[in-house]
Amino acid sequence: MLELLKNDVIYYVISAVLALLVMFGIFLMSKVDKARLGNGISAFSLLLAVIITLLRHEILGIWFLYIFLFVGAVIGIFMAVKVKMIETPQMIALLNGLGGLASTIVGGFALFKIGAEDNLFSQITALIALLIGSITFVGSLIAALKLARKMTQKPINLPYHSPLLLTLLILMLALLVLIFIPSVKPLWIVIFGLLISALFGLVFTIKIGGADMPITISLLNSLSGVAGAITGLAINDILLVSIGGIVGASGLLLTQIMCKAMNRKLLDILLGKTSTKVVKQVSEEEHDESQTKSDPFAVLKAAKKVIIVPGYGMAIAQAQYQVKELADYLKTLGVNIKFAIHPVAGRMPGHMNVLLAEVDVDYDDLYEMDAINPEFKDSDVTIVVGANDVLNPAARNQPDTPLYGMPILNVDESKEVLIFNFDLKPGYSGVNNPLYSKTNVHLFLGNAKDTLQVFLNNLKK
């Protein structure tokens, strides 16, 4: 048995089977009723991978390793069980960073020729793994801090930000060239590599603002996979290469989907061009609170079709419970309720879906942007909870704003609109929302949890 595992060809076959198993798991994750099984299959493949590694390298008997495995497992399980659903974005970012840290360390080992062969290919890939791993680690930590709101959501701009990033990038490339010179000690390469890449991760991520987080977090996710795969190249392990590659690709694709949904170019984000230009504030029009507005309670009670649009504001106010209560109450009145989910609503891909699932909203009621957009014009009322940029009509008709070109939800086509936002300030994009001053729009300003609750109480009277 052991001899078999040591045979390279057989190990390749086993790796291929495990990679296929992982892919099957991912395939199942595309269907909501099979997704849990898919996740389980992926986890199982990873367990098999660990066991096979222990056997193949004859390290099954080193009890020392199990202590660390045990400690990691306990902490990991504890985190998974204890984390509140609202904290998942920062938890995912943090975990992602830990994966990057592990790749960094293994890359560092390989640079000292521990676990890796002494050839140029191994050395170069080891350094790349170390660099990417450490960028992922530092970048993810900053992202986690921003997502946890322990750091400003606004982009932090250093003087000469873009040239600084470029310089760091060139320094990393220069370091790769140093590998070719045998007299350069690996210790120096490791030290400088860590310094430069950590700084790059820091400078790169502090510039990214809150609303670009869905893009950043999926990009970092991709990077941690790439770091793993390249570590596999360095230590000559085909299993690590294939599974790391799958993760890298998936993250990249998610990044692309997010970029498309925000009408942003990945390169612009990589180079640190943010979408937040300071736009000249259009002098705020006086809100016409005259009698022309209809009574929102009557309108809602008479409605046949209502669409609810949740946004990041719902997440920070934790208003999903009230949203669910409102939806349930309207359903008892015979109203048809649909939820419209913009792909970048929130701080990570699919953020709104998770929050609504948490309060038991049927996922059949959740609609993606393209599916729901034609329906706004037939809807009687649209209820917006903590969303702004994703429904700002300026994206359609104001070419001079940073929002222009971003696909939005056609909330403005709805007959009546109720907005439960914190204030009238522009969203992350800095663009004023012309919707706010329309006569068929009713504003309920303040913490969405409170405003919705008050509204609900009045509605039920």
Partner 1 sequence: MEWILVAVFLVSTILGYILINNVPSLLHTPLMSGMNALSGITLIGALIATAISLKDAHGVLASILGGIAIIVATINVFGGFGVTDRMLKMFKKKG
Q: Are strands 336-341 and 416-420 parallel, antiparallel or unpaired?
A: unpaired
Q: Which of residues 201-220 bind partner 1 (CB under 8 A)?
A: 217-218
Instruction: Report how far residue 451's alpha carbon sits from residue 461's, in angstroms, rounded to the nearest whole number.
Output: 16
* Residues acting as catalytic residues: 389
If one asks whether residue 241 binds partner 1 (CB under 8 A), the answer comes out as: yes
If one asks whether residue 68 binds partner 1 (CB under 8 A), the answer comes out as: yes
Report the nearest approach of partner 1 to the CB of residue 106 (Å).
4
If one asks whether residue 186 binds partner 1 (CB under 8 A), the answer comes out as: no
Pattern 400-439, binding to partner 1, x per CB under 8 A?
Answer: ----------------------------------------
Distances (CA, A) of 280 to 20, 276, 294, 383, 401: 53, 12, 32, 29, 9
Q: Which of residues 329-348 bind partner 1 (CB under 8 A)?
A: 341, 343, 348
Return the number of the residue (217 or 394) whose C-beta is nearest partner 1.
217
Task: List the 441-443 sheet strands across, edge first.
Answer: 366-368, 336-341, 305-310, 381-385, 416-420, 441-443
Q: Are strands 366-368 and 381-385 parallel, antiparallel or unpaired?
A: unpaired
Contact call for residues 448 and 314 (beta carbons, < 8 A): yes
- Residue in 70, 264, 227, 255 with CA at minimum distance from that of residue 133: 227
Return the number of the residue (232 or 272) whose C-beta is nearest partner 1.
232
If one asks whether residue 354 binds partner 1 (CB under 8 A), the answer comes out as: yes
Q: 3-class SS at 261?
A: helix
Give residues with Cβ within 8 angstroms of 107, minimum separation 6.
126, 127, 128, 129, 130, 131, 133, 227, 230, 231, 234
If one asks whether residue 366 binds partner 1 (CB under 8 A), the answer comes out as: yes
With contacts defined by CB under 8 A, name the span among 148-156, 163-171, 274-282, 352-360 that binds partner 1: 352-360
Distances (CA, A) of 106 to 233, 249, 338: 11, 21, 49
If one asks whether residue 102 binds partner 1 (CB under 8 A), the answer comes out as: yes
With contacts defined by CB under 8 A, name the span among 253-261, 272-280, 391-399, 445-453 that binds partner 1: 253-261
Return the number of the residue (45 or 276) whose C-beta is nearest partner 1.
45
If one asks whether residue 289 binds partner 1 (CB under 8 A), the answer comes out as: no
Report the nearest approach of partner 1 to the CB of residue 341 (Å).
7
Contact call for residues 162 and 272 (beta carbons, < 8 A): yes
For residue 336, count CB atoms less than 10 angstroms from its CB and return exposed for 0-12, middle for 13-18, buried for 19 or more: middle
Among 228, 310, 311, 426, binds partner 1 (CB under 8 A): 228
Contact call for residues 224 and 99 (beta carbons, < 8 A): yes
If one asks whether residue 4 binds partner 1 (CB under 8 A), the answer comes out as: no
Report the nearest approach of partner 1 to the CB of residue 224 (Å).
4
Phi, psi angle pair for 368, to nearest 5°: -75, 160
With contacts defined by CB under 8 A, name the span among 77-85, 276-284, 327-335, 433-441 that binds partner 1: 77-85
Report the nearest approach of partner 1 to the CB of residue 192 (Å).
18
If one asks whether residue 250 binds partner 1 (CB under 8 A), the answer comes out as: yes
If one asks whether residue 252 binds partner 1 (CB under 8 A), the answer comes out as: yes
If one asks whether residue 86 binds partner 1 (CB under 8 A), the answer comes out as: no
If one asks whether residue 364 binds partner 1 (CB under 8 A), the answer comes out as: yes
> In angstroms, how far is CA 33 from the centroid of its own chain?
23
Return the number of the residue (91 or 448) whose C-beta is nearest partner 1.
91
If one asks whether residue 9 binds partner 1 (CB under 8 A), the answer comes out as: no
Q: Which tokens sit at 409? A: 């939800």
Report the nearest approach of partner 1 to the CB of residue 133 (Å).
8
Q: Which tokens sit at 200? A: 């790059």
Among 156, 257, 271, 279, binds partner 1 (CB under 8 A): 257
- Residue in 327, 258, 261, 315 with CA at minimum distance from that of residue 447: 315
If one asks whether residue 88 binds partner 1 (CB under 8 A), the answer comes out as: yes
Report the nearest approach of partner 1 to the CB of residue 267 (Å).
19
Pattern 119-158, binding to partner 1, x per CB under 8 A?
Answer: --x-------------------------------------
If one asks whether residue 314 binds partner 1 (CB under 8 A), the answer comes out as: no
Distances (CA, A) of 56 to 8, 61, 380, 391: 10, 12, 65, 55
**Binding residue count for partner 1, defined by CB under 8 A:** 109
Instruction: Report how far residue 236's alpha carbon sits from residue 200's, in angstroms, rounded to the nearest whole number.
Output: 27
Q: Which tokens sit at 448? A: 């969405």
Pattern 14-43, binding to partner 1, x per CB under 8 A?
Answer: -----x--xx-xxx-xx-xx-xx-xxx-xx
> In angstroms, how far is CA 438 from the centroid of its own chain?
33
Report the nearest approach of partner 1 to the CB of residue 359 (Å).
9
Listed in order, strand segments (DSSP E) in 251-408 are 305-310, 336-341, 366-368, 381-385
If one asks whether residue 398 binds partner 1 (CB under 8 A), the answer comes out as: no
Report the nearest approach of partner 1 to the CB of residue 123 (Å).
12
Report the nearest approach of partner 1 to the CB of residue 88 (Å).
6
